[in-house]
Amino acid sequence: MILIGEFAVLEGSPALVAAVDRFARASIRSTDRTHFVISVPAWAISDLPLTLNQQEQVQFLRAEHADISKSLRFLIPALETAAAILRTRSRRIVPCRITLEIGEFFAQPARMKLGIGASAAITVAVLAALLQFNAAGPLDRFELMRYALQAHHAAQGSLGSGVDIAASVFGGILKYRKPAATPSSPVRVDRLSMPPDLHIRCIWTGKAASTRKLVQQVYGFKATNPGAYGDQIHRLARLSEAGCNAFRQKDESTFLALIRRYYHQLMALGRKSHATIVTAEHRLLGEIVHRAGGAYKPSGAGGGDLGLAFSQSASVMQAITAAINNLGFRIIDLRPGAPGVQIKSR
């Protein structure tokens, strides 16, 4: 979950991100076949055969399977990136069975995405598992971060800051800045701890949103009116930097005040860019939370997915929770500060 800093982080400003306890699980097993076998139960993909050509690019073994490539748009670059890494070490990747479990990233029973970084978790899990299976040698988290960014950018056309990749790799609560120039540039992360009196609730708006589409709309605004875009991002950047500092200093009241200002600045960016960042659902939730004495903002690019309610009082959060439940919105139980990538060998 992004506590503060969305959109500003795209231009190099810091963002505050918390890993949450929903996991992508990539299981790798040996096979006696000469090709890879892919299973993703959440997408009803079972024993899908594919191979890599001489350029380490995925090829489907049957023409009709190419239709599935959209569902696998983050798994495939992770596989290709692992193969490329091994090739630089004069090794070939070993064909294997890959089973990917990602059901925790969807709202049940509607099976809509929650908007908590599934694509990043998939990328990191598959890449880390393949490198471990192929005994790629010692790989620290900063290397894994760099390679995962490359794979994620290959899937998204270089959109995105990598803030969700950082949460998946390092875990915990992080102040994050994107690499200065390219995915191969150094990543800047600082680990922080939760202020003792800060309470957070995650609210599902009931609608899934396309982060890619919203970011493209905002970038379109940047292309057509760079001056106005720069002004909006500058305002967000100042608030995000101040919010990260207040969080680090455990100054909950200042942090909540900055969250409220960030929410209104996201609304302003949406109006200027004609991107629906703060939807009607987010506005309604914002009114409820602010009226009860808390602070509210979307988590991530907005447009739907999750909203975050903040309070420095347990009683205020209880009132917020009751009001949200009465309106029929669903509170998602997410624990901030969960661990990052973990390797378990059987």
Pairing of strands 15-18, 173-177: antiparallel
Percent of the chain with pLDDT over 70: 96
CATH match of 25-191 with 3.40.50.300 = no
Domains 25-191 and 196-332 share a fold: no
CA dihedral 258, 6, 43, 95 (to 10 degrees): -130
Q: What is the pLDDT of residues 27-84, one digit of tens each?
A: 999 999 999 999 999 988 999 999 999 888 998 887 767 778 788 989 999 999 999 9
Q: Which residue has the tokens 């982060």?
A: 211
Q: Whole-angstrom Cα distance, residue 133 to residue 146?
A: 19
Amino acid at 147: Y
pLDDT in tens, 171-217: 999 999 988 766 566 778 999 999 999 999 999 988 887 888 888 99
DSSP 169: H
pLDDT of residue 240: 97
Q: What is the mean pLDDT of residues 84-113?
A: 87
Q: Where are the domains of the chain?
A: 25-191, 196-332
What are the structure tokens assigned to 295, written together? 């602070």
- The least confident of 125-134, 135-144, 265-274, 297-306 is 135-144
In total, the chain counts a number of residues equal to 346
pLDDT at 138 over 60: yes
DSSP letter string, 143-158: HHHHHHHHHHHHHHTT
> Is residue 139 pLDDT above 80, yes or no?
no
Q: Which positions ≥6 away from 132 have C-beta within 8 Å?
A: 28, 343, 345
Name the region of 121 (left: φ>0; alpha: ψ -120 to 50; beta: rest).
alpha
Q: Angle at which helices 211-224 and 226-248 pack, to 10 degrees?
A: 130
| Chain CA centroid to CA 218, Å | 18
pLDDT, mean over the chain: 91
Q: For the structural domain made of 196-332, what CATH number should be given? A: 3.30.70.890
Q: What is the pLDDT of residues 209-240, one digit of tens each?
A: 788 888 899 999 999 999 999 999 999 999 99
Given this model, what pLDDT does residue 64 score? 67
